[in-house]
């Protein structure tokens, strides 16, 4: 069937998977023990190690990773293999603050990231500012997932299903099962989604890596036609690598959806085992998607801009015709990609509605509203947010990696509230506020002035350096003033 590159089997497999997601939403709704915000947004704080690991994995590896990373490898070549270190860096940053944050969250009943900020710093203004920055960053993140849905469904169907239909249908299914089952539904669907992705990528590596001729042919073609994509990186690129490692490591570690999964863990042991396993996942996941992007360069030459974000589905379509094994693994990978996109989107949407409801509206305009009513408000906000962002996603202007960088530039300015706030008792609310304002304005100013990178360093990382320096200086001065008094 020339118009349906993967045949009707692929669509049947996908349709069955989507029906399972909807069914999970119904089951999770029946299993919910109440209407509190902790029950809806954190699954009753009862996620054991297997479920916690799979929900972290499925959420961490999103449409940005599985479509944006191959697209960036297609643009840069072998240099993009350093992105494996980015994902490992996230786990390293988690280990700095997550255990202490979890123990504090258990003692004080945290539901949102703003609960920690309010408890630690006691500043409503700081809680509101960080909440606004969270909303701006993760709304952008959700937008990236919606765009990725459109790309992958269009590629899966050979453009028979248009980009806009993929955005609307999958986005509608997400909002449906999430508002039915909350975090419990999201966590259960993440387990299926994470397993599909892992099985597909392992199968693809087994099929492709032993075939050294394929890799050698791609390398030879690059050497002859695009040697810059196989050459040693320049000093400026190396600085950018280090900058990106800092940017991704610190920004992704404070994703609100990841912070809330820390709060939702059943025990410290569950959290420890989940992070231990997460440290090894980049070796499989990122290696596979980067290799696909590199192998696509000679086979799909000439793609530019956002078109390069389609290299994963386009190359998998060609491989699916080579053997039954590759066809089956391609179905797993493509469904796993859709699963990963949806798992990230549902997690981000859940966090976005909880922050808007509890950290912003709940603290300043709905102070005396009962929790059951607050949960209902959160559900309605979820519908409004999803509809608005779906409309924006229908006219994509940036590459997926461009959206990743934009989100990271904002989120990294919030990271000192969790990292320094956990490990340094003297970090004050005045210092934190001064640091965030300085870092955000500097990063935004550099970006708007056309300096997204300064001597190879991301504007967000330059902003973080100023953020930390100012925050620590003001905190030290505040401590000195108090001691003198």
Least confident of 36-45, 104-113, 443-452: 36-45
Residue 419 lies in a domain: no
What is the Cα–Cα distance from 485 to 477, expressed in whole angstroms?
12
396: left (phi over 0), alpha (psi -120 to 50) or beta: beta
Calculate the CA 165 to chain-centre distance.
Answer: 23
Predicted confidence at residue 484, as pLDDT, reads 46
Predicted confidence at residue 35, as pLDDT, reads 63
Provide mean pLDDT across the span 13-19. Answer: 83
Query: pLDDT digit string (tens) for 307-354?
Result: 777 787 778 777 777 778 778 877 777 777 777 778 778 888 888 888
Q: Which position has the token pair 């970090």? A: 427
Provide mean pLDDT across the span 423-428. Answer: 93
User: Residue 248: is its pLDDT beyond 70?
Assistant: yes
What 3-state DSSP class applies to 426? coil
Q: Are residues 98 and 180 in the same domain?
A: yes
Residue range(s) defining the domain that contains residue 480:
424-485
Query: pLDDT digit string (tens) for 439-461?
Result: 999 998 888 788 888 888 999 99
What is the Cα–Cα distance from 320 to 155, expressed in whole angstroms?
13
Q: Are residues 25 and 141 in the same domain?
A: yes
Q: How many helices (H) and strands (E) does the chain have?
A: 22, 2
Q: Are residues 178 and 149 in the same domain?
A: yes
Q: With bands split at pLDDT 50, 70 and 90, how would you rate the model's confidence at 424?
A: very high
What 3-state DSSP class applies to 196? helix
Q: Are residues 249 and 300 in the same domain?
A: yes
Predicted confidence at residue 250, as pLDDT, reads 93
Q: Are residues 469 and 346 in the same domain?
A: no
Calculate the CA 141 to chain-centre distance.
Answer: 7
Residue 338 lies in a domain: yes
Helix ranges, 109-161 (H): 113-121, 124-156
Q: What is the pTM of this model?
A: 0.81
Q: With bands split at pLDDT 50, 70 and 90, how would you rate the model's confidence at 390?
A: confident
Domain end among 379, 412, 445: 412
Predicted confidence at residue 404, as pLDDT, reads 58
Domain count for the chain, please give it.
2
Q: Are residues 95 and 210 in the same domain?
A: yes
User: Residue 2: is its pLDDT beyond 60?
Assistant: no
Predicted confidence at residue 121, as pLDDT, reads 94
Asked if 24 contacts 186 with a C-beta cutoff of 8 angstroms, the reply is: no
Residue 452, judged by CB atoms within 10 A of its CB (0-12, 13-18, 19+), counts as middle
Most confident of 8-17, 163-172, 335-344: 163-172
Provide mean pLDDT across the span 240-257. Answer: 89
Residue 418 lies in a domain: no
Predicted confidence at residue 167, as pLDDT, reads 86
Residue 1 lies in a domain: no
Residues 6 or more apart whose CB falls under 8 angstroms from that of 145 comprise 62, 63, 64, 341, 342, 344, 345, 348
Domain end among 412, 438, 456: 412
Residue 211 lies in a domain: yes
Predicted confidence at residue 1, as pLDDT, reads 41
What 3-state DSSP class applies to 47? strand
Q: Are residues 365 and 476 in the same domain?
A: no
User: Residue 181: is its pLDDT beyond 50?
Assistant: yes
Predicted confidence at residue 468, as pLDDT, reads 97
Provide mean pLDDT across the span 258-265. Answer: 90
Residue 242, judged by CB atoms within 10 A of its CB (0-12, 13-18, 19+), counts as middle
Q: Are residues 406 and 476 in the same domain?
A: no
Least confident of 30-39, 114-123, 274-283, 312-321: 30-39
Predicted confidence at residue 332, as pLDDT, reads 78
Least confident of 42-46, 60-64, 157-161, 462-466: 60-64
Residue 2 lies in a domain: no
Domain end among 349, 381, 412: 412
Predicted confidence at residue 405, as pLDDT, reads 63
For CA atoms 181, 140, 169, 2, the dihedral sign is negative
Residue 417 lies in a domain: no
372/2: higher pLDDT: 372
Q: Are residues 104 and 210 in the same domain?
A: yes
User: Residue 415: is its pLDDT beyond 80?
Assistant: yes
Asked if 151 contacts 378 with a C-beta cutoff of 8 angstroms, the reply is: no
Q: Are residues 443 and 329 in the same domain?
A: no
Q: Are residues 383 and 481 in the same domain?
A: no
User: Residue 191: is its pLDDT beyond 70?
Assistant: yes
Provide mean pLDDT across the span 130-146. Answer: 82
320/240: higher pLDDT: 240
Predicted confidence at residue 483, as pLDDT, reads 45
Predicted confidence at residue 122, as pLDDT, reads 92
Query: The domain spanning residue 290 has which CATH number?
Result: 1.20.1730.10
Q: Are residues 111 and 26 in the same domain?
A: yes
Q: With bands split at pLDDT 50, 70 and 90, how would you rate the model's confidence at 198?
A: confident
The pair phi, psi for residue 6, each rounded to 5°, is -105, 5
Residue 199 lies in a domain: yes
């Amino acid at each position: 069937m020339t118009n349906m590159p993967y045949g009707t089997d692929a669509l049947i497999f996908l349709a069955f998977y989507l029906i399972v997601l909807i069914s999970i939403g119904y089951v999770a709704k029946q299993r919910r023990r109440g209407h509190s915000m902790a029950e809806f947004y954190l699954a009753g704080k009862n996620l054991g190690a297997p479920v916690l690991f799979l929900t972290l994995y499925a959420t961490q590896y999103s449409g940005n990773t599985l479509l944006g990373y191959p697209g960036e490898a297609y643009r840069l070549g072998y240099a993009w293999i350093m992105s494996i270190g980015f994902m490992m860096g996230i786990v390293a940053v988690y280990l700095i603050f997550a255990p202490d944050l979890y123990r504090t969250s258990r003692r004080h009943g945290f539901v949102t990231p703003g609960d920690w900020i309010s408890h630690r710093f006691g500043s409503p203004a700081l809680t509101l500012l960080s909440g606004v920055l969270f909303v701006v960053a993760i709304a952008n993140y959700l937008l990236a997932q919606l765009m990725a849905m459109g790309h992958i469904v269009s590629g899966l169907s050979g453009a028979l299903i248009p980009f806009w239909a993929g955005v609307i249908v999958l986005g509608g299914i997400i909002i449906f099962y999430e508002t039915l089952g909350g975090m419990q539904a999201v966590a259960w669907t993440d387990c299926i989604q994470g397993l599909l992705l892992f099985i597909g990528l392992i199968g693809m590596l087994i099929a492709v890596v032993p075939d050294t001729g394929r890799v050698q042919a791609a390398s030879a073609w690059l050497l002859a036609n695009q040697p810059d994509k196989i050459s040693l990186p320049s000093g400026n690129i190396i600085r950018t690598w280090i900058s990106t490692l800092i940017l991704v490591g610190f920004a992704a570690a404070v994703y609100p959806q990841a912070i809330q999964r820390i709060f939702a863990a059943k025990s410290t042991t569950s959290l420890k085992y989940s992070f231990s396993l997460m440290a090894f996942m980049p070796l499989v996941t990122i290696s596979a998607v980067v290799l696909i992007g590199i192998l696509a360069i000679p086979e799909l030459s000439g793609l530019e801009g956002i078109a390069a974000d389609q290299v994963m589905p386009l190359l998998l379509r060609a491989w699916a015709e080579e053997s039954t094994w590759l066809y089956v693994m391609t179905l797993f990978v493509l469904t796993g990609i859709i699963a990963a996109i949806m798992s990230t989107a549902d997690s981000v949407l859940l966090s976005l509605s909880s922050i808007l409801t509890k950290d912003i509206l709940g603290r300043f305009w709905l102070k005396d509203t009962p929790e059951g009513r607050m949960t209902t408000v959160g559900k309605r906000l979820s519908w409004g947010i999803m509809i608005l962002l779906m409309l924006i996603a229908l006219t994509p202007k940036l590459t997926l990696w461009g959206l990743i960088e934009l989100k990271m530039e904002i989120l990294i300015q919030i990271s000192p509230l969790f990292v320094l706030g956990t490990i340094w008792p003297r970090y004050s609310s005045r210092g934190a506020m001064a640091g965030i304002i300085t870092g955000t304005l500097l990063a935004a100013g550099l970006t708007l002035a056309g300096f997204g990178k300064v001597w190879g360093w991301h504007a967000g990382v330059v902003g973080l350096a100023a953020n930390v320096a100012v925050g620590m200086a003001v905190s030290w001065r505040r401590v000195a003033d108090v001691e003198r008094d």
